[in-house]
Amino acid sequence: MPRYFGTPPGVHVGQQFIDRRELHFAGVHRPPQAGISGTKAEGADSLVVSGGYSDDEDHGDYILYTGHGGKDPNSSRQIAHQTVEAPGNAGLITSMVQTLPVRVVRGRHSASPYAPAAGYRYAGLFLVTDFKPAIGVDGFTIIQFRLDRIPEQDEYIAAAPGERDPAFVSTVVTRRIRDSAVAREVKAIYDFTCQACGISIEGFEGRRYAEGAHVRPLGKPHLGADLLTNLLCLCPNHHTQLDNGGLFIRRDMGLEDRLGVGVGELTFKKSHLLLQENAAYHREIWKLAS
């Protein structure tokens, strides 16, 4: 089954689950035991926070999460070093580099005011915004991840209000996350290479980053389709320029700036095309705005 990034249909923030089996069948967290669901190649789609590691910190709207590996199976103590190559850890790093949302589930944990009294509760979608190796309280290397809750979701009801970190909220997590399966598909088609400039941004251990850019915007009033025929694979600079009316697509798929000066052309692969009406709609809305 393909890995799914996002909240599964029929699931809502705050929903309670009796056990791991219920989480599995709802598509919220599929592994029967592992705390992280993910791989280096695909990214991580979900994780469970349940106080399984001594270094975990749950602040509500952001979480400092200890990665996988090196734990004594009979306690929460660390007895060996963790590495970035452990599958769950590698998956979370890929999710950070590719801006993939991660479903967070909280399990019963007496030290956290955000945890349910019993069973598991779905906390919503978070972004992995940072990671670093650190020396844990037990003296071994841990891989510590920071996850920040994505805005524009239903509120998570807990015994204490969520703590916010303004620096991260304002600079990292404010953009809308629309990294659907089709957006990941267009990035895979172009191997994370920008169709406008040919640049491929390389991150940690060769992981590449690009963005799926909708030419006709999604949502009201534009009602653009989340389809390959409305998507481009762009670097962050050209995505931002397109979204803010600084870059236009001509009928011949050439690119021009706001003054009508040609600045290059889009490259396409045979398995992908952009509908002319989507490019025309983009030109028209920004022409009306100017």
For 236, residues 6+ apart whose C-beta sits below 8 A from its C-beta are 201, 209, 211
- Predicted confidence at residue 258, as pLDDT, reads 86
- Predicted confidence at residue 112, as pLDDT, reads 82
- Predicted confidence at residue 166, as pLDDT, reads 47
- Predicted confidence at residue 270, as pLDDT, reads 86
The answer to whether the pTM exceeds 0.85 is no
Instruction: List the chain residues with pLDDT less than 70.
Output: 1, 110, 155-179, 220, 288-290
**Whole-number Å distance between alpha carbons of 258 and 5:** 35
For 39, residues 6+ apart whose C-beta sits below 8 A from its C-beta are 87, 90, 91, 94
**Amino acid in the structure at residue 112:** S
- Predicted confidence at residue 151, as pLDDT, reads 82
**Residue-range domains of the chain with CATH:** 16-171 (2.30.280.10), 181-289 (no CATH)
- Predicted confidence at residue 167, as pLDDT, reads 43
- Predicted confidence at residue 22, as pLDDT, reads 97
For 241, residues 6+ apart whose C-beta sits below 8 A from its C-beta are 247
In tens, the pLDDT along 3-33 reads 899 999 999 999 999 999 999 999 999 999 8
Are residues 32 and 86 in contact, defined by beta-carbon separation less than 8 angstroms?
A: no
In tens, the pLDDT along 149-183 reads 988 777 655 555 556 554 444 434 434 455 578 88
